[in-house]
């Protein structure tokens, strides 16, 4: 059967990548991006221009353990062949974890019901030679109790205008946060975990920057609460560095999350 007469198929990919060397997800003129690299290698493998749709854009320097994308193709290749072929073509800092064929209606972004992000903080006096591109180094010991108090305030549906990056155009600044937690993964590794039905531009990094200020005693939980209510970005803390942020997972109605 000729290529143009084959049925159109919809493929879902789950990607892991180290964002250190890339100018974020979205294709941009004059800089290297994850989307450009992925689309160019799909074009090599499938023999034609392929447009990939992602669950959302990650900024320059942000990492992913579970970015989801989808694309359409009339290829005759099996899922296993696409998976193996792509990983042989992609650079070592971008890996396809999973490939599956999905219904035509599946859209990586619009079909998503929630996303989980993590933010990693190395909390010790000395920096790390190995983790310097993967965690924000904070020298001062973070006081966990007031941070946990603030995380409690974040859960539920709120207006997060105070934590939205500039240059963002959205219909609504309300988001529903299902999880807002702080985990002690190792003696000196603190990990913020956020799951929500969506995130505003720079929202996680702006939240973390403000929460760290609470943790080092620059702000109180009461002040954090008043920042939320103010809806004023100028009152919140700094934007945490991109290299501590990870897109961990994108969740869909069809997912079995009981495991």
**What is the set of active-site residues?**
59
Closest CA to 159 of 88, 243, 67, 229: 229
Token pair 């296993």 is found at: 80
State how beta strands 245-252 and 63-73 pair: parallel
Instruction: Compute the radius of gyration of the chain from its Cα atoms.
Output: 20
257: number of Cβ within 10 Å: 8
Dihedral (CA of 155, 158, 161, 162) sign: negative
157/170 Cα distance (integer angstroms): 16
7: number of Cβ within 10 Å: 7
Name beta bridge partners: 181: 193
156/244 Cα distance (integer angstroms): 24
């Amino acid at each position: 059967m000729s290529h143009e007469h084959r049925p159109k198929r919809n493929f879902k990919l789950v990607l892991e990548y180290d964002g250190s060397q890339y100018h974020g997800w979205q294709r941009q003129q004059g800089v290297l991006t994850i989307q450009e690299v992925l689309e160019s290698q799909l074009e090599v493998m499938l023999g034609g221009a392929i447009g990939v749709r992602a669950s959302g854009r990650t900024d320059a320097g942000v990492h992913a353990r579970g970015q989801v994308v989808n694309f359409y193709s009339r290829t005759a290749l099996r899922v296993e062949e696409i998976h193996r072929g792509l990983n042989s073509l992609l650079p070592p800092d971008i890996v396809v974890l999973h490939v599956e064929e999905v219904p035509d209606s599946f859209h990586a972004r619009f079909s998503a019901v929630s996303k989980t992000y993590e933010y990693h903080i190395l909390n010790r006096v000395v920096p790390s030679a190995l983790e310097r591109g993967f965690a924000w180094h904070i020298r001062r010991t973070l006081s966990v109790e007031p941070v946990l108090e603030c995380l409690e305030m974040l859960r539920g549906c709120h207006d997060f205008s105070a934590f939205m990056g500039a240059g963002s155009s959205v219909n609504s600044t309300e988001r529903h946060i299902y999880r807002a937690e702080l985990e002690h993964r190792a003696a000196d590794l603190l990990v913020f975990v956020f799951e929500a039905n969506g995130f505003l531009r720079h929202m996680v990094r702006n939240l973390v920057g403000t929460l760290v200020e609470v943790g080092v005693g620059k702000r109180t939980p009461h002040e954090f609460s008043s920042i939320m209510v103010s809806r004023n970005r100028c009152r919140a803390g700094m934007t945490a560095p991109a290299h501590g942020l990870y897109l961990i997972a994108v969740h869909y109605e069809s997912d079995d999350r009981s495991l």
